[in-house]
Amino acid sequence: MTYDEMGLFRENADEAGLEWNGPPVVARRDVEVADGRRVSALMWGEGDPELVLLHGGAQNSHTWDTVALALDRPLVAIDLPGHGHSDWREDHHYSPPSLADDVAVAMADLAPRAEAVVGMSLGGLTAISLSARYPTLVPRLVVVDVTPGVDRVKAEPIIAFVSGPERFASFDEILERTVQHNPTRTVSSLRRGVLHNARELADGSWEWRYDRVRGSLSDGALPDMGDLWNDLESVGAPCLLVRGGSSGVVGEEDVAELLRRRPGAEVVVVDGAGHSVQGDRPVELAGIIAGFLSRSTTTPRRS
């Protein structure tokens, strides 16, 4: 199957109802990090990136394509280590602090003057750790549908999906499994996602581009993130939490703890969005991010 990584943006725009003014300027860049590994990223637009986007576990930088089209500003979307076109770690250890260290190296090269870091799920936890460890790199923080109090029981179906079969006999098979796991998304959007997030092997079978989760929750596949509450509390940057209204991953108790730790934080709920808000409501998310960047004050707000 022929795959053109930069050839699907028109589909994103048409499906989201965005005006199409021709192909955007997008280039792939690699940065060497620890142990000679490479972190890969998509550079959108020209000029200094204003935003850094970090995807969730088992995703890649293309999950942000429609958001990037809607924002229409220079930004960089990073493939986290073990995902997309970035190299895998030999120890298969992808905790938020270890990911943050690699992201910091990539940002120093690609986006040292970014106005904000936006992270979804695992990317959100990574962004929290990044903010605490490298505060000068994160002037503003946007966390999408995750907190350090992530519900381990509710995360089990996600873990089960991303740690599923290692190989699929055909593209149709890997797409069908993805459609079953995401019943609210269009097949066309999921097809694009699979093309970006999987690869065809010489024998015609397919495998995911990410380093699959090894083990179950009881085996420690999802480590305790409790220490990240302290990291979040130490962050001085303005903070916004975006929740998916249909997700359930972030509970009211998590919101209460966030506001206790960060009284000035903003919380926005996107109705009709599941855990992957950037996939379910990308244009609305882009508007929320743009609005957060444009505000000069950090008055607490709930919606």
Check pLDDT > 60 for residue 297.
no
- The pair of structure tokens assigned to 70 is 């809607």
Section 161-186 average pLDDT? 89
Instruction: Please report the pLDDT score of residue 221 as a whole number.
Output: 47
Write out pLDDT tens, residues 246-277: 998 999 999 999 999 999 999 999 999 999 99
Active site residues: 121, 145, 275
Q: Which domains does the chain have, with CATH numbers?
A: 11-255+265-288 (3.40.50.1820)
Question: Would the pTM of this model clear 0.85, i.e. be above it?
Answer: yes
Identify the band that residue 226 occupies on the pLDDT scale cut at 50, 70 and 90: low
Q: What is the 3-state secondary structure (H, E, C) of the chain?
A: CCCCCCCCHHHHHHHHCCCCCCCCCEEEEEEECHHHCEEEEEEECCCCCCEEEECCCCCCHHHHHHHHHHHCCCEEEECCCCCCCCCCCCCCCCCHHHHHHHHHHHHHHHCCCCCEEEEECHHHHHHHHHHHHCHHHCCCEEEECCCCCCCHHHHHHHHHHHCCCCCECCHHHHHHHHHHHCCCCCHHHHHHHHHHHEEECCCCCEEECCCCCCCCHHHCCCCCCCHHHHHHHHCCCCEEEEEECCCCCCCHHHHHHHHHHCCCCEEEEECCCCCCHHHHCHHHHHHHHHHHHHCCCCCCCEC
Instruction: Please report the pLDDT score of residue 151 as a whole number.
Output: 64
Instruction: Please report the pLDDT score of residue 218 as a whole number.
Output: 39
User: CB neighbours (10 Å) of residue 254?
Assistant: 19
Write out pLDDT tens, residues 43-80: 999 999 999 999 999 999 999 999 999 999 999 999 99
